[in-house]
Amino acid sequence: ETIMPSLFDLTGKVTIVTGSTKGIGLAIATRMAEHGATVVISSRKADACKEVADGIVKSGGDAHVIPCNISRRAEVDGLIAGSIKHYGKVDILVCNAAVNPYYGPLLDITDEAFDKIMGSNVKSNIWLCSLAIPPMAARGKGSVVIVSSIGGLRGSTVIGAYGISKAADFALCRSLAGEWGPK
């Protein structure tokens, strides 16, 4: 059996992964820890966060829990500030958390459901980036990953609003790259 060398060494890098207690976020957080990153585990439920962080620590990694509902500005502020207070910096921000409270035709979506999707899936990423990117730029290094979806590229008869939010995330990423990439 051939052992593949690691393609990544994230030793010393502090990473925040939103929505990191299940699915894609859990996989990202776990794999980053395996590659040496210190990981801030974040989702709405503190107990789920603790379970993931305990697993990372048990495997020899370093993880810290800061619960956060990304739709609440004060909690987003607390996530970034708490990460910096605990570890001194944020090197990598992974904006993974998202919601989809509505399945059905676009013309039937309520304003409340549409606003929840856009707020959680787009506006929260702007909040997170506005707090994490300037200190990265001041150090001259850092990375932001905004998790989107094929739904942002293709139409859907049942998750159209979610797709709109994910298309907006693609545009957000391109614009942030233009503004901040050179820094």
Q: Among 87, 102, 103, 162, which one carries the catalytic annotation?
A: 162
Which one-letter amino acid corresponds to residue 59?
S
- The encoded tokens of residue 33 equal 């820890």
Query: In 151-161, which positions are buried (b, 16+ CB within 10 angstroms) versus exposed (e)?
Result: bbeeeeeebbb
Q: Are strands 14-18 and 38-42 parallel, antiparallel or unpaired?
A: parallel
Note if 162 is an active site residue. Answer: yes
Q: How far apart are CA 9 and CA 121, in angstroms?
A: 29
Distance in angstroms (rounded) separating the CA atoms of residues 11 and 36: 4
Tokens 């159209």 belong to: 160
Active site residues: 162
